[in-house]
Amino acid sequence: MTLAKWGVMLTAVLISAQLSAHEFKAGDLHIDHPWSRPLPPVAPTGAAYLRIENHGQTADSLLGVRSPIAEYAQMHEHLHVDGLMKMQQTERVDIASGQTVIFEPGGLHIMLFDLREPLVSGDEFPLTLDFEKAGAVEVIVKIGEEVPEPAGSEPPHDSGAHQHH
């Protein structure tokens, strides 16, 4: 194979790796792999998940979330209270310097209420994250691309559609 062909192949591999990484950057914040589960077309709510890493020297806070596919969106967390798992809205998520915050099923997550369109596997949608210091950051959420569970962990018992009490 000629040197020129190797160069073309290497460029294609590097571009492919960058596209599949599905990462976003806002200043010192690194937002990795926003995803959502596909749901039936009649589902009124959905959820989005992602990772936020703070590579900076100062803390930042996620103050809100929004998406054109939902009437409104909120940050929620699961809590274990008296042997029961409950969910509650959280107004802000602090991200200390050097910290990684993970939005995942069964933990901190983003709820999408009154969906305006179904969450169909293979589709994607925009989600805006409003940070105190980094400002508004738009990411693209891919539907159906779950992050693999760490080895030895049990998958969470979360259907993606939540009931609120």
**100-153 pLDDT per residue, tens:** 999 999 899 999 999 999 999 999 999 999 999 999 999 999 999 565 444 333
Query: Residues 13-33: pLDDT tens digits?
Result: 433 334 445 889 888 999 999
pTM above 0.85, yes or no: no
Q: Which residues of 60-94 are buried (b: 16+ CB within 10 A; e: fewer)?
A: bebebbbbebbeebbbbebeeeeeeeeeeeeeebe
Q: Evaluate whether 72 touches 66 at the Cβ level (below 8 Å).
A: yes
What is residue 13's predicted lDDT score, i.e. its pLDDT? 40
Domains of the chain, each with CATH number or no CATH = 24-143 (2.60.40.1890)
What is residue 114's predicted lDDT score, i.e. its pLDDT? 97
State residue 60 phi and psi, 5-degree precision. -140, 170
